[in-house]
């Protein structure tokens, strides 16, 4: 990770200017007036921590991050110029030595020179490291509760926090509730783990105020116990600091840090906590947005699957006979052209077998339509059980059934039809017992259309019925086969 260095630019120009200003000031005053002035005139730059001091006894002293060099009292103008050049050169040399020593803390301590920005740099680096750790967690933990739990663990470990409560807004309850707890008894006297309303109002008032840089709230022991009274071990702590998590002007939640008796929260740690809360506001929103989009995508996927299922059911309903589960006329017409194309590729013959249950009207008249339906279902099952997987069976209408089958020299359509006729004649149907079937057969001719093919097989069926039923008749043009 990139190290944060607060001393990128050496503040030489500011130091030289401080020296020159001090000398000009002393030349413009008499010795008497100069002696009556304060002992020290200080020019301090917070950014580069450089101090130029005028001392009544020793003259001018320049200090930077613990390294210093002194100038004698006012001399003549040529002497002053020489002293200034010497002082600046000496200052620059010592400043370079000081920066080098800050890179080696052990050498600095050995020489007894305090590294002025070392602590500040270290705090900043720790803060950046902490925020980076939290960012890395958010990249892998899209579960909000898991992310908050891991974040609290890092904060309590890195910042040495004894107790920490994390609260976030919950969409389900429409309240700010507790998401995780570190260092305190998880059980409460009440079932609801919600954040005190009084603190919410106080944070919102502070947010709307003019100073938004330090909007955390400090609680003494009395206030803390009053607001978090239902935590059984709350009296073990002496004070608390509540850091809000705002997204624009919306309060998303907060981090409540609890301190032991006589324990003080360092100012730099407060700044780190505020930076963490600022980061959490964006990360929490990102995780929630990710989860929302994921839910919506899953719902959309489920809706698509349901729609696909409904469409398949509608299609099946449109092409399937509800009683027998076989194709209806529409289903056959939809698939027959695929079968014709497949037949041409495999160089097989394609034939229609049109079956009609003999005297089926008598079944309905004698036993009723309910028994008639039972017979039709049993008949369909019988055909399905004794046909090949490549065959297509259709309920053509009423008691008529159409079989689309491929045939070859060793397995003619007539042989197939005759086998089915015999199976029907010996089958025991529910309630009625035995019944027979008449079958017409027609093979598809080269270049023949569907309507012509259907007409020929229908004519063959009528011919079978004219022969006292319980017969198989091939279309006249094919009787020689």
- The answer to whether 41 touches 24, Cβ cutoff 8 Å, is no
Residue 167 above 80 pLDDT? yes
Record the tokens describing residue 88, joined without a space. Answer: 């600046």
User: Is 427 exposed, middle or buried, given 0-12, 13-18 or 19+ CB atoms closer than 10 A?
Assistant: middle
Handedness of CA 192, 197, 202, 206 (dihedral sign): positive
Beta bridge partners of 244: 254
Residue 88: predicted pLDDT: 53
Q: Name, in order, each residue with C-beta under 8 angstroms of 418's C-beta and a sequence gap of 6 or more.
A: 472
Residue 268: predicted pLDDT: 82
Instruction: Give the Cα separation of 325 and 432 in Å (integer).
Output: 22
pTM of the model: 0.49
Which residue shows structure tokens 């006894």? 57
Residue 46: predicted pLDDT: 32
Residue 371 above 50 pLDDT? yes
- The answer to whether 180 touches 166, Cβ cutoff 8 Å, is yes
Report the side by side order of strands in the sheet with 50-55: 40-45, 50-55, 59-64, 67-71
- The answer to whether 323 touches 376, Cβ cutoff 8 Å, is yes
Of 63-67, 229-233, 359-363, the one with minimum mean pLDDT is 63-67
10 secondary structure, DSSP code: -
Residue 21: predicted pLDDT: 52
Strand 472-474 and strand 437-443: pairing?
A: parallel
Averaged pLDDT, 205-219? 76
Percent of the chain with pLDDT over 70: 69
Residue 124 above 70 pLDDT? no
Residue 68: predicted pLDDT: 43
Instruction: Give the Cα separation of 25 and 461 in Å (integer).
Output: 129
Residue 210: predicted pLDDT: 63
Q: What is the pLDDT of residues 437-452, one digit of tens each?
A: 999 999 988 888 899 9
User: Is 219 exposed, middle or buried, given 0-12, 13-18 or 19+ CB atoms closer than 10 A?
Assistant: buried
Residue 282 above 60 pLDDT? yes
Residue 136: predicted pLDDT: 84
Q: At what angle do helices 413-426 and 369-385 cross, to 10 degrees?
A: 130
Of 67-76, 84-93, 118-127, the one with minimum mean pLDDT is 67-76
Residue 41: predicted pLDDT: 34
Neighbours of 223 (CB within 10 A): 15
Q: Name, in order, each residue with C-beta under 8 angstroms of 296's C-beta and a sequence gap of 6 or more.
A: none
């Amino acid at each position: 990770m990139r190290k944060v260095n607060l001393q990128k630019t050496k503040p030489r120009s500011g130091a030289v200017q401080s020296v020159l200003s001090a000398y000009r000031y002393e030349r413009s005053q008499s010795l008497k007036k100069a002696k009556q002035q304060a002992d020290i005139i200080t020019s301090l730059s917070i950014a580069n921590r450089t101090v130029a001091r005028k001392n009544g006894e020793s003259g001018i002293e320049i200090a930077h991050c613990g390294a210093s060099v002194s100038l004698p009292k006012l001399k003549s103008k040529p002497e002053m110029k020489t002293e200034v050049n010497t002082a600046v050169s000496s200052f620059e040399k010592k400043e370079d030595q000081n920066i080098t020593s800050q890179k080696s803390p052990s050498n600095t301590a050995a020489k007894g020179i305090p590294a002025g920005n070392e602590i500040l740099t270290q705090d900043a680096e720790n803060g950046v490291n902490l925020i980076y750790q939290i960012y890395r967690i958010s990249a892998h933990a899209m579960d909000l509760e898991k992310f908050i739990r891991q974040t609290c663990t890092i904060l309590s470990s890195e910042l040495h926090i004894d107790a920490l409560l994390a609260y976030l807004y919950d969409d389900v309850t429409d309240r700010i509730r507790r998401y995780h707890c570190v260092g305190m008894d998880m059980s409460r006297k009440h079932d609801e783990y919600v954040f005190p309303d009084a603190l919410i109002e106080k944070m919102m008032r502070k947010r709307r105020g003019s100073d938004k840089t330090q909007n955390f709230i400090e609680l003494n022991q009395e206030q803390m116990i009053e607001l978090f009274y239902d935590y059984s071990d709350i009296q073990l702590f002496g004070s608390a600091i509540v850091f809000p998590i705002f997204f624009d002007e919306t309060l998303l939640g907060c981090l409540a840090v609890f301190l032991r008796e006589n324990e003080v929260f360092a100012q730099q740690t407060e700044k780190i906590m505020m930076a963490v809360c600022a980061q959490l506001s964006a990360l929490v929103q990102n995780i929630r947005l990710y989860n929302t989009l994921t839910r919506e995508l899953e719902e959309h996927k489920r809706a698509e699957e349901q729609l696909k299922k409904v469409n398949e059911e509608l299609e099946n309903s449109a092409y399937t006979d509800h009683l027998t589960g076989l194709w209806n006329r529409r289903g056959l017409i939809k698939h027959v052209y695929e079968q014709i194309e497949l037949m041409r590729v495999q160089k097989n013959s394609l034939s229609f077998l049109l079956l009609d249950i003999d005297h089926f009207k008598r079944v309905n008249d004698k036993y009723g339509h309910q028994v008639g339906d039972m017979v039709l279902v049993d008949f369909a099952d019988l055909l399905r059980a004794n046909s090949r997987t490549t065959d297509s069976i259709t309920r053509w209408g009423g008691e008529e059934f159409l079989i689309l089958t491929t045939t070859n020299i060793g397995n003619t359509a007539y042989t197939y039809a005759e086998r089915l006729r015999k199976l029907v004649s010996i089958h025991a149907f529910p309630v009625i017992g035995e019944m027979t079937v008449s079958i017409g057969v027609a093979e598809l001719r080269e270049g023949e259309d569907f309507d012509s093919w259907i007409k020929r097989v229908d004519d063959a069926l009528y011919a079978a019925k004219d022969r006292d039923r319980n017969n198989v008749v091939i279309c006249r043009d094919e009787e020689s086969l």
